[in-house]
Every structure is written in structure tokens, then in C-alpha cells.
A = this chain, B = another copy of it.
Amino acid sequence: MLPFARVAIVGLGLIGSSIAHAVRAQMPTVRLTGHDADPAVRARARALDLADDIADTAGAAVTDADLVILCVPVGAMRDVAEALAADLPADCVVSDVGSCKGSVAAAFAEMLPGVTVVPAHPVAGTERSGPDAGFATLFHRRWCILTPAGDADPAAVMRVSTFWERLGADVEIMDARHHDLVLAVTSHLPHLIAYTIVGTASDLEEVTESEVIKYSAGGFRDFTRIAASDPTMWRDVFLSNKEAVLEMLQRFSEDLTVLQRAIRWGDGDALFDLFTRTRAVRRSIIEHGQDDPRPDFGREHI
């Protein structure tokens, strides 16, 4: 039993194109339509055969769908919802893949009154962007968090849940506010820190950018991967989840100050204790199947 028979994907970047590949692989009888605001992306999506039909407008893509997934930056959700609202079939379910759920819920409530909405956030990605970046296994063994409103239709929630499970994800249901707090620490703060340190390293006078790049294997290069993520997407995340991000940032800054003081005063025991504790977190992540167990993320050493 397919949860949905006609799926429309609006926004064909990394996540949208990965959903397209995964639907093709796991539910090949689904009729798949797509749209992207950028004509070059639409042309590329057609060349890649990402969907049965790539429509020139969002409205045309959704007109016959029973599931519509908005895969656009969270700052664009409101406008895209407005653009396609008039063309939504009465019985269709609208979902999304945004990294912040509070702001998206507000945008949908405003622009899609009366529509069955089940917001979702697949916690998966790479540093690549665009229609060529997608692949069918991106969501395998990753968590997809659904944040339905308290009065959401349970049958619709179940269908969206089944849809993500069919793509290989584990599904969790969470309150939107709690989601935004959890993701502020597991995703938004790490990106902010990574963007900052890459900026700091680029701006030094005594150390050249060429030196930073040559000796990046000492640890710095790890940060450059997530600091290479899509700038529009991440600008929107920080503006949309401002309160939770600022709260986590404040805690991080306090902890950093404590460590700074330990270094200044030569408190080796405090450093050693923290470094031992953090090692255990890595082990848990590996044990829970949330990272590659191979050393160095499985990077090639040839």
C-alpha cells in the first residue's frame, strides 16, 4: 500500500532531488511532478529525468498531487505556499523539509488555512547543493522529524510517516518548539561555529590563507565541509530560529570562556576531564548508527 500515489516536489535542490531519486527507487509507481523557481534548475531536472513532469509553475506541479513537499529555504516557504495555494487539490497533504519548524508552521497557517499540513524535517544532507547533488540513499538510517500541530489529522500524519519510512528513514514525532531547540544544538549551532572559524582563519595577517589550506588536515578541514553548505538555506535558518540559536550560542560562549580560563591558568585536569567525556559522545553516535564507524569518517588514505 503506497501512502501517496501522486507526489509533487517544489524546490529541486539537494533535498528535493534526493526525494525524487528515493521515490523512484522505493515507490516506482508513484506519479512524480516537480518544480523549481529557477529555470536553469528546471532544465537540469528535466535532463536528469528527476520526475515524470517538471512544471514551469508551482501551481501546475501540485494541481493533481495527493502529497506536496516544499523543499525550499525556510525563508521562502511563505511565498511558495502562497503561490501554490489556489491550485492545491482539496484532499492533498502539504509537507516540507525545512530545518526550522516554528516559522514554517506560522507561514503555512497564514497561507494555507484549512489545508492538511504535516511539517517534516529529514535530518540528513551533504555540503552539496542543487539538482545534481541528490541521491536515493540520503535518508537511509537517518531520522525524519514530523511536527504536526496538536489538532492535525492522525491519518495524514501516519501517511507522511509511512512515506518517510519507505524512503529509508526512521520517523519521530515532536512538538515544533522542541524541534527548534534540539536542532539549534545538533545542527544550527555547529553550522554557525563552523562558518565563524572558517571566517576567522581566512582573515589572519600573520598566517596566510595558503598556509591555512595546506595544513588544514590538522582538524580545520573538518569544519570547512559544513561551512560549504548552501548560504541561502543557512541564512534563513539563523533568521528563522533566532531565539533558540542565540540561547545555544550563549551557552557555548560561556563554556568556551571556562576552557579559555583553564588554558590560561594551566589547569590540565579540567581539560583532560572534558576531553575524556566528549570522547564517549562519539562512541554513542557510532553505536546508534548515526555516523560512519570507520576512522576519519571513512576518508580515503591512499
Residues of B within 8 A of A291 (CB): 216-217, 221, 224-225, 299
Q: Which residues of A contact B (CB under 8 A)?
A: 75, 99, 123-128, 133, 135, 137-138, 140, 142-143, 145, 172, 178, 181-183, 185-204, 206-207, 209, 211-229, 231-232, 234-236, 238-239, 242, 245-246, 248-249, 251-253, 255-256, 259-260, 263-264, 266, 268, 271-272, 274-279, 281-285, 288, 290-292, 294-302
Shortest Cβ distance from A291 into B: residue: B221
Whose C-beta in chain B lies nearest to the C-beta of A201? Answer: B185
Residue pair A284, B213 in contact (C-beta under 8 Å): yes
A218-B278 contact, Cβ under 8 Å, with A126-B296, A228-B283, A252-B197:
no
Contacts of A209 in B (CB 8 A): 281, 284
Docked complex Cα distance between A179 and B16 (Å): 45
Interchain nearest-CB distance for A26 vs B (Å): 14
Q: Are B260 and A217 in contact (CB under 8 A)?
A: no
Whether A137 lies near B302 (C-beta < 8 A) is: yes
Closest 8 CB pairs of A and B: A187-B218, A228-B282, A231-B275, A190-B219, A297-B297, A126-B295, A198-B278, A227-B278
- C-alpha spacing A211/B211, complex, angstroms: 38
CB distance from A232 to the nearest CB of B (A): 7
- Nearest B residue to A292 via CB reads B299
**Are B204 and A185 in touch, CB under 8 angstroms?**
yes
The contact of A282 among B127, B183, B219, by CB within 8 Å, is B127
Asked whether A235 lies within 8 Å of B299 as measured between CB atoms, the reply is no
Instruction: Provide the residues of chain B in CB contact with A215, threshold 8 Å.
Output: 123, 143, 145, 182-183, 186-187
> Contacts A126-B296, A182-B207, A182-B211 known; A282 to B224 CB distance under 8 Å?
yes
Q: Is the CB of A186 within 8 A of B282?
A: no
- A181-B206, A228-B283, A256-B249 are known contacts. Are A199 and B277 too (CB-CB below 8 A)? yes
Residue contact A218 to B238, C-beta cutoff 8 Å: no
Q: Do residues A242 and B214 form an inter-chain contact, with CB atoms below 8 A?
A: no
- Complex contact A266–B283 (CB within 8 A): no
Q: Decide: B220 and A186 in contact? CB cutoff 8 A.
A: yes
User: Which B residues are CB-close (under 8 A) to A223?
Assistant: 190, 193, 222
Q: Which residues of B contact A284 (CB under 8 A)?
A: 209, 213
> Which of B182, B227, B297 touches A299 (beta carbons < 8 Å)?
B297
Residues of B within 8 A of A301 (CB): 135, 137-138, 140
A-B residue pairs in contact (CB < 8 Å), sample of 12: A75-B268, A143-B215, A182-B212, A187-B220, A191-B219, A192-B256, A193-B256, A200-B255, A203-B255, A222-B222, A225-B282, A239-B266
